[in-house]
Amino acid sequence: MLRSKNCLRICVTLGALTLALSGSSKAQANIVFDLSLNGGATWTVLQNSVSNPGVYTGNPAPDLTISSLSGESTSLPGGGNLQSSTVSIKNTSTSSQSIQLAIQSDNFPPPTGLLTFQTGATGNTTGGAFTGGASGSFQSYGDSSGGIGVSGGALQGISGFTISQQTFTTNPGGSTTLSAGTTWGTNGNVSGLFNSGSGTYSLTSLYRLTLDPNSSINFSGQIALNPVPAPAGIVLAVAGLPILGFGWLRRRKAASTV
- In a domain, residue 253? The reply is no
79 within some domain? yes
Mean pLDDT of the chain, nearest integer = 76
Q: Is residue 241 part of a domain?
A: no
Tell me the three-class secondary structure of the chain, residue by residue: CHHHHHHHHHHHHHHHHHHHHCCCCEECCCEEEEEEECCCCCEEEEEECCCCCCCEEEEEECCEEEEEEEEEEEEECCEEEEEEEEEEEEECCCCCEEEEEEEEEEEECCCCCCEEEEEEEEEEEECCCEECHHHCEEEEEEECCCCCCEECCEECCCCCEEEEEEECEECCCCCCEECCCCEEECCCCEEEEECCCCCCEEEEEEEEEEECCCEEEEEEEEEEEEECCCCHHHHHHHHHHHHHHHHHHHHHHHHHCC
**Range from 79-88, 133-142, 175-184 that averages highest in pLDDT:** 79-88
> What pLDDT sits at residue 248?
43
> What is the count of structural domains for the chain?
1
Residue 10 lies in a domain: no
* 46 within some domain: yes
- Please report the sign of the dihedral spanned by the C-alpha atoms of residue 131, residue 220, residue 119, residue 42: positive
Averaged pLDDT for residues 60-74? 88
| pLDDT band (50, 70, 90) for residue 51 | low
Q: Let me know if residue 258 belongs to a domain.
A: no
Question: Structure pTM?
Answer: 0.77
Domain that holds residue 32: 28-227
Q: Is residue 247 part of a domain?
A: no
Q: Over the stretch 157-207, which tens digit does the pLDDT of each residue have?
A: 999 899 888 888 887 778 887 777 788 888 767 888 888 888 889 999 999
Domain presence at residue 215: yes
Q: In CATH, what number is assigned to the domain containing residue 84?
A: 2.60.120
